[in-house]
Amino acid sequence: MCGIWAYLGQGASLMVSKMAPWLIHRGQEGFSYVCIHNGTLLRVSDPTPLESSLCIGHARYSTSGPYGIELQPVILGDLALVFNGTVANYKELKIRLREMGINVNSNYDALVLAYYLRNLLSRLSIDDAVNEVFKTIKGGYSILALWGNSLIAIRDPWGLRPLVMGINNGGVAFASETSALEALGIKWVEVKPGNALVLSSGGERLLNGPRVRRMYCALEYIYFQRPDSVFNGISIYNARRRLGLALAKKETYEIDEVSPIPETARTAAQAYANAIGRPLNELIVKNRFMGRGFIRPPKDRNIELYSVIKEGVVGKSVALIDDSIIRGDTLRRIIPKVKAAGAKAIHVRVASPPVRYPCFMGMDFPSRRELIAHGKSISEVKATLGLDSLMYLTVDELKEAIGTVELCTACFTGEYPFNVDISELEGDFTGDR
């Protein structure tokens, strides 16, 4: 999962720099830009000094390739590309390229994608190249690419990954989330799944890809997006409130205090606390200068991010609300601290189902062995974490709360948008990491 953004129009370099802070939550390993400057593609870490009318930006969250090193945009000759998601069949694309005499000695899917797209664009019209992307690539993806004087924007046909477009004083902006545009006063529309737009000084045109079953990523609603964003017409804030209310309906324990696990669970925790009539207090304090814990590279996940307000938990039956439990790293660090602070009982409430299967569409948990709930019952997860009680939502409760049945729930159910050999893909995405 990454943040991508672009601007076509006067003052592009300034606009992409303004959009960046609103998308850094989607990628913390580094960010970079490419602008067209004096007719050439130029990579910069700060685009503001440049005179440019077309720039793209990227905030890196690794789902393949080395952590924190392979910063996008990828530049290959006259192509520059930024990409949010995962190309599940990147090895198949490498074989296609090899058959045409192009050897890509990397398992970084964005680099493979760039070589693949550049090869298509060099042989075909832009329209035919985009159609070939839709036909051959499996995975969740939103792509922004510079080719010649054109900006190409593509969203996967399942709608797994987000992409929005806005118009601003004659310029055109793209971003991973609506909040990045709304914060700058730019009116936006979501790019529809399976759509591509080609924009240049000569105008714009819309390309339609194949019609498949929509499967919007559930974790975009649960965790990844900002609460002030909209995804597929659904307010993230409202969806998270409903997730919290769904948890409250199931509550059977006596709760004294409610606290969110910062940051993303706060909205669900507020709704849950109001519904059960108990106070909501920030009893878990996060070092907000350290960024998001879940999307950190493995070597950085042991950094202490949280402390506990002892006065708030001592002698209390505390409900801790979390958006999801993936690896369990956060709770393994927090729960002992809450116990040491003197809590009478610790009840964890999770605003999603148990994550038991890997993701190959844009999240960095590509193996079953790293998932705390894989192969375990809820009672076994509870025992592993040392809790007094543990409650999740079911998949049906999740869909009802979010407000759509068109969700990708593969990480909960093992039912993917396309045919997947889990064992094979686990090797493809963990072998060199």
Tokens encoding 369:
């062995």
Tokens encoding 82:
């930024």
Please, are residues 310 and 343 in contact by the beta-carbon 8 Å criterion? no
**Candidates 2, 35, 55, 411; catalytic one:** 2
Residue among 158, 163, 160 nearest 213 (CA): 158
Burial of 423 (0-12, 13-18, 19+ CB in 10 A): exposed
Residue among 149, 78, 84, 151 nearest 113 (CA): 84
Residue-by-residue DSSP string for 121-159: HHHS-HHHHHHHHHHH--EEEEEEEEETTEEEEEE-TT-
Tokens encoding 374:
């894989």
Tokens encoding 221:
């609603």
In DSSP terms, 390 is beta-bridged to: 348
Residue among 347, 340, 284 nearest 312 (CA): 284
In DSSP terms, 320 is beta-bridged to: 259, 348
Tell me the HSE value of 88 on the side-chain side, using a 13 A CA sphere.
25
Residue 408 a catalytic site member: no
Residues acting as catalytic residues:
2
